[in-house]
Structure 1
Amino acid sequence: MTQVRKAIIPVAGFGTRLLPISKAIPKEMVPVVDRPLIQHVVEEALAAGINEIILVTRSGKSAIEDHFDAHAELEDSLASKGKDALLETLSAIAPPRLKITSVRQPNAQGLGHAVFCAAHLLGEGEPFAVILPDVLVKPQAGSDKCDLGDMVTRWDASSAAQIMVEAVPEEEVHRYGIVDCGGSEPRAGESADMRGVVEKPKPEEAPSRLSVIGRYVLSYRVMELLSDQPPGAGNEIQLTDAIDRLMQEGKPVQAFRMNGRTFDCGNIEGWLQANTLLAREAGYEV
């Protein structure tokens, strides 16, 4: 069975929830403690054993690609001054095993469309991960457990698509996509078969309290379905609609319940929370 080695990261959004910070700076380059958000996300992929990153981008986002590129002048300057620690910090941004490719999304037509823009960069039948960079997923304090890595392991063992979920308070389910596992909720670090996803249900109508996080491990069949996926909610091509069709075909899709923590860095409150908490855990005084 083909292993998961590629992750698609859509970075073409405008970042309106972070305005005015994101007016001239890509939201993915906004710092979380000591590195930009996109670096945290790429490090998560590497920790999961995924070393090929496909950025789905647009004009005005070149700073993301530049961040992972070599900077010979800066590196020569640091070397001449004997600043070896800083040189090592730069080298860690893009280790030799990391491969980054970019593809443009010509116009915003939804997450499903963004993912499909990378279809030609996958091999026939190749599985892939999708990582939404707005949400930062971190292990619990004192742990190095990688939830995305566990999802990849479960894919390897079962060939079932994996959708990361976490429990939210009942009064907040109307804000999220909520998975339906037929009443069988997985424990943390485990998966359960899904029947569907309900977008922003009323609390009394929600099939569970498990919300979709923004981490997916999917079969190549999803790309084939996206090739003719009609527009859905918001008149956009939705990834969840293609996943629903996958389930309708009888293909297994599972909800993976995360062990770690999430920070919604797509809004000011979540971004501030991530910076404050993670900075303290890293030993900074805040």
Structure 2
Amino acid sequence: MVEDRRLGDAIAYVILTIGVLIVAFPVWLTFVASTWDASTIINGKLPLWPGPYFLENYHRILFIGTSGTTREPVAGMMLNSFIMAMAIALGKIFISVLSAYAIVYYRFPFRMAAFWIIFITLMLPVEVRIFPTFKVVSDLNMLDSYQGLAVPLIASATGTLLFRQFFMTIPDELLEASRIDNAGPFRFFKDTVIPLSMTTIAALFVIQFIYGWNQYLWPLLVTTKDSMQTIVIGIKKMIVTSDALTEWQLAMATAMLAMLPPVLVVILMQRLFVKGLVETEK
């Protein structure tokens, strides 16, 4: 007897739809607020449909700036955030894949001790070691620079653990076959390990790109010039002490623009991202 699951599926879809609406409604309100003028928002008469100021507000915030504590256009902030996020994501992947490859495929003294030392650094995020990290960056004259924004956040024990777990699932027969073909460690790494790791690399890239894009505390400390601030810092500076002085329509437009790159990365790499996480758990 085949069980009739239509009622159960219908209930599941209704629950999912309600959940999507709850999550999406604040985003929709943010978009609507970004298309109206300041007086409509301040007076509390914001409708639920977009207004006539869409092009004006987004053109102003992207290329002109605001009259708040920061007057830099958002286009420059988005470029700074993009460079920082890309540098963190690619740097973490590069370091993590090399360290995990060395731990799994090389036999050297204290190999596992090195891995556990790397793993223990998970207990020391940048917020815990913020002062010594800032002191080092300052002594190296890396304040107000892309190197200062990205380099201290590149090292990742999470990435090393992720790649180590995946490398351990690669059959030993592939390593033996590469030795029979007279392939050295670098060729085995380039021709075998990296192609098999593309889904894991994609998964880590998505996670670390969003991590770098959403950074707030570290960019707030190492950037003193408005031209070097990221978009997350820009949103905070747009919201001044007095609500009457805050150009809420521009702040909402900036919030919408800040959501676009992470959402695009997740959408474009969704299939590889999910596949990479599933394969790593094997």
**Which has the larger helix fraction?**
2
**Which has the larger strand fraction?**
1
Q: TM-score, normalised to structure 2's length?
A: 0.23
Q: TM-score, normalised to structure 1's length?
A: 0.23
Higher relative contact order (CA 8 A, sep 6+): 2
